[in-house]
Amino acid sequence: MLIVDVDKCIGCGVCEANCTFGAITVEDGIAVVADTCTLCGSCVDTCEVEALHIEGAEKTVQADLSAWSGIWIFAESRHGVIAPVAFELLGIGRKLADQRGVELTAVLFGSGLADSAGDLIASGADKVLLADHPELAQYREDVFGRVLEQLVKEYKPEVLLAGATAIGRSVIPQVATLMGAGLTADCTGLAIREEDGMLLQTRPAFGGNIMATIECPHSRPQMATVRPNVMAPGEVDPDRNGTVVAVELSDELLDSRVQVLETVINEDEQVNIQEIEVLIAGGRGVESEKGFDLIQELAAELNGAVAASRAAVDAGWISYPHQVGQTGKTVCPKLYIACGISGAIQHAVGMQSAETVVAINRDENAPIFDLATFGLVGDLFEIVPLLTKKIKEQRGS
Ligand SMILES: Cc1cc2nc3c(=O)[nH]c(=O)nc-3n(C[C@H](O)[C@H](O)[C@H](O)COP(=O)(O)OP(=O)(O)OC[C@H]3O[C@@H](n4cnc5c(N)ncnc54)[C@H](O)[C@@H]3O)c2cc1C
């Protein structure tokens, strides 16, 4: 709750002017807080007379921040295979570690993964902390969180990064809470500030309309999840040297309240649109599940896969794993053909790094044309079948 100290408040209105949510008004010379307050804290920082504070959010400065050193990445794996995002984290992690002049460590949990540790070293890690145990074969949040917390307490890394994937988003907040550390979710940029070595964590905010750079000056480790497909993977050098340290695991650490009965692969997730070079995306303009047959035909002809806007997913025409954008996946294919998609900012943030964008839209003013390499103004129900036919003909000849 945002508390106004009426003895200190001078009714200057700075908080009112700074509140993006319009949640503060000055009435009779005193700031008054409405229910719409999101506790973002920006008014607290701007109040020169320190009349505002958020109850329970007083800053506690951890003792001896300098005792924390080294960059860590959480190398996620599934079914014995290291996730591509782990190699992207090694790419950015290597840069950060070199800038700080510290070691880059990959933390790898699983069963039978000893051979994979070498891949992490070849891609940039100086050290791999390997927790290899049959009990870690399946992801269980409580066990992974506990083991990671123990390692963080023992080794004291200054930075801990994980992929903004289902697993990363579940294990990392748990560790941040246990450590009382800050966490920035879904980063698209990371850098070190030269003057003091602070990790600058950049992510889209306010619906993707601004980029916010966040720092955690009072606690360690500085923790962030990073969007897959945004960072370049580390360069592979099979001759790189590094050390693999086996993590000791007590029964107590491995004890879990979760029992995994079965793991089922979602048919829809068989195709990971983040790893495909050609994507044909459909939006509200596709009009129905049936309309997506046209999109599917073009995708098949180009050896690509089908993607979608949130409007199409929300309408139930296609399932969520196909969604591109702020609350979907970030993709960077060689070719992205957007059919009946307006190009809202929340969609654009997920596809704007595609190499070539082709937009098909009957509204010549649709924002998607600002991102497009080639634009086709017209009805997708005419253009898409024509395009598919032409490609078929070309292939045939
Ligand atoms: C917090 C938040 C998160 C969000 N996350 C995402 C996200 O991850 N991904 C996402 O996509 N959106 C997301 N959105 C929603 C986003 O703001 C847009 O509403 C959405 O992207 C619109 O989808 P669309 O372009 O398919 O539909 P519309 O904006 O309705 O556009 C449809 C387009 O199709 C064109 N069209 C219609 N019929 C035809 C035709 N026959 N031929 C050719 N063109 C035609 C129209 O001219 C129009 O430009 C989010 C919104 C919020 C608030």
DSSP 252-274: HHH--S---------GGGGS-GG
Distance 283 CA to ligand 1 centre (A): 6
pLDDT recorded at residue 57? 67
Least Cα distance to 54 among 27, 24, 25, 28 occurs for 24
- 325 CA: nearest ligand 1 atom: 8
Distance 321 CA to ligand 1 centre (A): 16
Digits of tens for pLDDT over the chain (397 positions)? 899 999 999 999 999 999 988 999 999 999 999 988 988 888 998 999 999 998 876 666 676 888 999 999 999 998 889 999 999 999 999 999 999 999 999 999 999 998 899 999 999 999 999 999 999 999 999 999 999 999 999 999 999 999 999 899 999 999 999 998 999 998 999 999 999 999 999 998 776 667 899 999 989 999 999 988 889 898 999 999 999 999 999 999 999 999 999 888 766 556 789 888 999 999 999 999 999 999 999 999 999 999 999 999 999 999 988 999 988 888 889 999 999 999 999 999 899 889 999 999 999 999 999 999 999 999 999 999 999 999 999 887 5
Q: Ligand 1: which residue has its CA nearest to atom 28?
A: 342
Q: Say whether domain 270-396 belongs to CATH 3.40.50.300.
A: no
pTM of the model: 0.68
Tokens of 288: 């129905």
Record: fold of 2-54: Alpha-Beta Plaits (3.30.70)
Tokens of 10: 């001078």
Compute the distance between CA of residue 350 and CA of residue 356 in angstroms, rounded to an integer: 14
Location of each CATH 3.40.50.620 domain in the chain: 65-251
Location of each CATH 3.30.70.20 domain in the chain: 2-54
Say if residues 61 and 92 touch (Cβ distance below 8 Å).
no
pLDDT recorded at residue 20? 85
- Secondary element (H or E) of residue 166: helix 166-179
Compute the distance between CA of residue 278 and CA of residue 357 in angstroms, rounded to an integer: 10
First to last CA, the chain: 69
Task: Enumerate the H helices of 266-358 as residue ranges.
Answer: 291-301, 310-314, 345-351
Compute the distance between CA of residue 134 and CA of residue 258 in angstroms, rounded to an integer: 15
Give the list of residues 6+ apart from residue 219 with CB closer than 8 angstroms, or none: 60, 61, 62, 65, 179, 180, 181, 182
Give the list of residues 6+ apart from residue 167 with CB closer than 8 angstroms, or none: 76, 78, 83, 139, 144
- 327 CA: nearest ligand 1 atom: 8
**Cis? peptide before 221, omega within 30° of 0:** yes
Q: Which of 273, 342, 380, 384 to mutate for ligand 1's pocket (most ligand atoms within 8 Å of CB)?
A: 342
Distance 11 CA to ligand 1 centre (A): 43
Cα angle 126, 130, 133 (rounded to 5 degrees) comes to 170
Q: Ligand 1: which residue has its CA nearest to atom 50?
A: 346
Say if residues 286 and 340 touch (Cβ distance below 8 Å).
yes
pLDDT recorded at residue 342? 98
Tokens of 64: 């001896």
pLDDT recorded at residue 1? 87
Record: fold of 65-251: Rossmann fold (3.40.50)
Distance 346 CA to ligand 1 centre (A): 9
Cα angle 131, 137, 139 (rounded to 5 degrees) comes to 95
Location of each CATH 3.40.50.1220 domain in the chain: 270-396
- With DSSP H G I counted as helix, E B as strand and the rest as coil, what are the percentages for the chain, rounded to 5? 35, 25, 40
Q: Ligand 1: which residue has its CA nearest to atom 35?
A: 340
Q: Which residues surround ligand 1 with Cβ inside 6 Å?
A: 207, 283-285, 309-312, 323-328, 340-342, 344, 346-347, 350, 360-363, 366, 379-381
Q: Ligand 1: which residue has its CA nearest to atom 47?
A: 363
Distance 216 CA to ligand 1 centre (A): 35
- 379 CA: nearest ligand 1 atom: 42
pLDDT recorded at residue 168? 95
